[in-house]
Structures are given as C-alpha cells and as structure tokens.
Structure 1
Amino acid sequence: MSDAAIDRPKKALIMFSGGQDSATCLAWALERYAHVETVGFDYDQRHSVEMQCRDTVLSRFKTDFPKWSNKLGEDHLVDLSALGQISETSLTRDVEIEINETGLPSTFVPGRNLIFLNFAAAIGYRRGAHTLIGGMCEADFSGYPDCRKDTLDAQMRAISLGMDVPFTLETPLMHLSKAGAWAVAHVLGGDALVELILEDTHTCYKGVRDGRFDWGYGCGTCPACDLRAKGWADYSRGL
C-alpha cells in the first residue's frame, strides 16, 4: 500500500446532483475511500428532474456495483429554495438561455457553488467527513467563475479557518474535457457505468427527458446538452 493510500482519510462527502460529472466523481470516490456519503441541493432548479435521477443513480450504484455498495453511506438532501427565490437565472426561471450584459451565461446562479460548499462542509463537520468532492471542471469552463480552481481554493481556506478544521476539496474532473470524463467513467466502472450514466443521469438545463440521444437524455439544444454531446462524440471516436 502506498504512503498516499495510508495517509488518505477514510471518509468523504460528495456533492451529488445526479448528473454525468457527479456520477463519475461518485465512482472515483468509491474507488478511493472506505465510506462515502452524498449530499444534494434542491434550489428550485428548473431542471428539478435531476433530483429524481439522483435517487435512481444512487440505487443503481448499490445494486449494480457490489464492490462499491457497502462503501456508499447516507444521503443528505438540503433545501436551498431560498437560493432559487433570489436568483433570476435560466436555471431558476423559465427564461431563454443567453449571454447577459456581464458576459456570463444566464444559467450562472450567483454564489451557487460557494453556498454548496458551505452547506456540504457543515454536514461534513457533523459527520466527520472533512474531505469534500465535487464535479467542478475548469477545462470545459462554461463561464462560471465559481467553477475556477482559484475560487474554490479560496473558499476552502475560508471554510477551514471558519470551522477550525482542515477541510479539503477533491475535484477529479477539474482539468478534464467532457470526453475525458467519459473515459474516466469507463476506466472506473467499465461499460456498466457508462451505460448507467447514459441512461439514468441528467444534465440538460431545461429538464427534458423525453428525447434520447446517443449521449443520453435532454433537449439537445441547451449548452449542457451541447457539451455532453460533443464530449460523447469525441470519446466515441477514440474507442
């Protein structure tokens, strides 16, 4: 066993939305930690179907992957409806997705990841899980400043200081393309995990699940669908 494995904490808490990236990160965490708990955030998001998908994905992780089932612990759900109430965005209102006057996409929910991290850390503090895991990605940056590594590092420093406990954040997809994320999923769980992600995760910003494409379900036109589709095409070409 390597020194890194000996030194690694045994318990982790993953911010789990039910999307492609968080499902891949969950598999990554279960390969590395003895006990993994999950936390989801309901902020009245327009694509609330992801809250249903996350239950399905968690259930399938337990039934389809015996090597991980005993490691998967309690799921926590946090009501952040207040965030939806104060956010005038395309993820919290039925409005067109566009680039606004600030140069950011209208799908940007101000403060979302920063708030998620604070609530996750509060749960982690209580549960003794001081390692947080998230699917934030800088390489496929969609205009979200709260996905940048320097933003996340600053927030984690504040959390560690404010709770007087050294918290760490793992972001295994930070520097990967979407094609790279598909490849990681295959390495971790083979065809079975790739099939689970295709069939049961949700990424579409509009919450559409009545259209099945090669890369999964979605509207096929929003930025999230476009990114996932291009990633799948790039990944498929490399098979």
Structure 2
Amino acid sequence: MSSPHTAPPQASSQRRALVLFSGGQDSTACLAWALQRFASVETLGFDYGQRHRVELDCRQTLRHELQARFPQWAAKLGEDHLLDLSLLGQISNTALTEARAIEMQANGLPNTFVPGRNLLFLSFAATLAYRRGASVLVGGMCETDYSGYPDCRDNTLKSLQVALSLGLDTPMTVETPLMFLTKAQTWALSESLGGAALNELIIEHSHTCYLGERTQRHAWGYGCGSCPACELRARGYAEFKAGQV
C-alpha cells in the first residue's frame, strides 16, 4: 500500500482503478483522488442491508455531479457496479444493520462494527477488478478518525493486499488515501483536489449519517447530528473551517 503523497499523479496515469464508493464523504474524496491519478476509474457499491441505505441513493447523483462539474474527470469515470451482499446483513448483529441503539460493547468496539465487512468488500472488489482489467482498489478506510474497527487498520489492509495478489496471481494494489488523515484533513484533501466546488458537492449530495437521516441540513451536510458518524463529520468540518488541519 502506498501513501497518497508518495507518487505524483503521472506515475499512475496508465493504471485502472476500482473505487469502493458508498456515497459518503470519505468515498467521494477517494473517488476524486483516484480520478486525479488514474487513466480509468470505475466505482463499486454494496447493498448489505445497512440502515443508512439512503447512501446508495446518493451514489448516482454524486457521479453525475462530478462529471458535470469537473469535465477534466468526466472522461475517466467509467462504469458503476452495485453488488447485493444482503447475506452480510443476515449474519450480522449490529447497529448498522438492525434498528438498535448505538453503543459500546464489552469488547471495546462500538456495535456499529460489522465483522468482516471490509474484508468481504475488498475480496469482491478484487474479483471484479480482475475481470475489468483494473489493478488498483481504492477505499476510504482510516486509522486516524475511526471507531476502532480492526478491518480499517493499515496492517489489516496490507495483509489483505498480499493475500489478494497471491490469490489472483496478479499484483493488486490496495490504496487508502485517507488512512492517516483526520476528518479535517479529509476536508482539506477534497478541497485541494476540486476546490470549494468539490466540498460543496460533498456537503449537499453525500451521506454519512448511520441512521439514514436526510431531512436535517447542517453546515457540513445532512444527518441526525448525534450519531458517531455525524459527530465526527461535524467536528472535522469545524476544525477544517477554523484552519485546524
């Protein structure tokens, strides 16, 4: 896995990438990051029975707006794919897949942790990328501003990158441009990629709230304002606007 700052965009210009694109802030920033660097970029979403399924409805709007507002990226944005992983929701017992209160568990993890989610996501993504001729998987996993999810850790994803490359018998790179960024720095990254216009797009059209709330509009976007995802996004936006990046 490489850092988002280790290679100039031209070094990756001929490679094809597949972005895990949920319709949230982080995956939208990652999509812009990939469009800036790779010759061709496709997107992949997963329907796993998440309570905030409204995020899936945001995906096509975000793709359309990116193409309309950023013509330099429009020709690079390829097909979108949506996989039905409802089985994951069936075998999970979490606050992301059931109408339960969000709380910490005895093991120190919040009950929003969906065991194996990112492992499955990347395994399916690698299978699709192999068929589509892409050699780079891009995900918004992050160690800095995250809820303690073990499948978001850099070491987890480095290990998975090795396993995927061995299992497919072809190099498969897992890129995580947000891995060591705070949420405020993620806002700064998207601004550096697409200016204020990209951040405005993220505020208006992306979705992060775990409860799927889109009737309340805040300075940082739509959401309940009180779930962990909303609190993190709001705090990061406030720090970004205050220049604390």
TM-score (norm 1): 0.97
Q: How far apart, in 1, do the equivalents of 2:22 and 2:165 lie?
A: 24
Q: Which residue of 2 aligns with 1:203?
A: 208
1:10, distance to aligned residue in structure 2 (A): 2.0
Structure 2 distance, partners of 1:15, 1:220, is 25
Pairing of 1:130-141 with structure 2 (within 5 A): 130-141=135-146
Q: Distance in 2 between matches of 1:159 and 1:185?
A: 29
Q: Distance in 2 between matches of 1:34 and 1:168?
A: 15
CA RMSD, 1 decimal:
1.4
Separation (CA, whole Å) in 1 of partners of 2:28 and 2:42:
13
* Superposed structure 1 runs of 4+ greater than 4 Å apart: 6-9
Partner deviation per Cα, 1:134-181 (whole Å, 9 max, x = no partner): 001111121100000000111111111111111011111110000000
* 8 A contact 1:9–1:131 mirrored in 2: no
User: Is residue 232 of structure 1 aligned with residue 237 of structure 2?
Assistant: yes
The one-letter code of the counterpart of 1:224 is: A
1:42 is matched with which residue?
47
Q: 1:143 to 1:7 in 2, by over 3 A?
A: closer
Unaligned runs of 5+ in 1: none
2:16 to 11, 26, 35: 11
Name the residue aligned to 1:32.
37
Superposed displacement of residue 30, structure 1: 0.5
Code of the aligned partner of 1:96: A
User: Which of 202, 216, 219 is the matching residue for 1:214?
Assistant: 219
Q: Alignment length, in residue pairs?
A: 238
Q: Tell me the SS of whatever aligns to 1:14.
A: strand
Change (3 A) 1:90 1:38: same
CA distance in 1, matches of 2:181, 2:222: 22
1:1-239 aligned at under 5 Å gives the runs 5-6=10-11, 9-238=14-243
Residues of 1 paired with 2:169 and 2:12: CA distance? 20
Q: Please give the alpha-carbon distance, in whole angstroms, between the structure 2 residues aligned to 1:119 and 1:153.
A: 17
> What's the CA shift string for 1:95-154, capped at 9, x where partnerless?
000001111000000000000000000000000101100001111121100000000111
**How much has 1:211 moved relative to structure 2?**
0.3
Segments of structure 2 that go 5 or more residues without pairing to the other structure are 1-6
One-letter amino acid matched to 1:16: F
The one-letter amino acid paired with 1:178 is K
SS of equivalent to 1:102: coil
Specify the alignment match of 2:4 in structure 1.
none
Normalised to the residue count of structure 2, the TM-score between the two structures is 0.94
**Amino acid of the structure 2 residue aligned with 1:223:** P
Q: Provide the rounded CA distance (Å) in 1 between the counterparts of 2:114 and 2:11.
A: 38
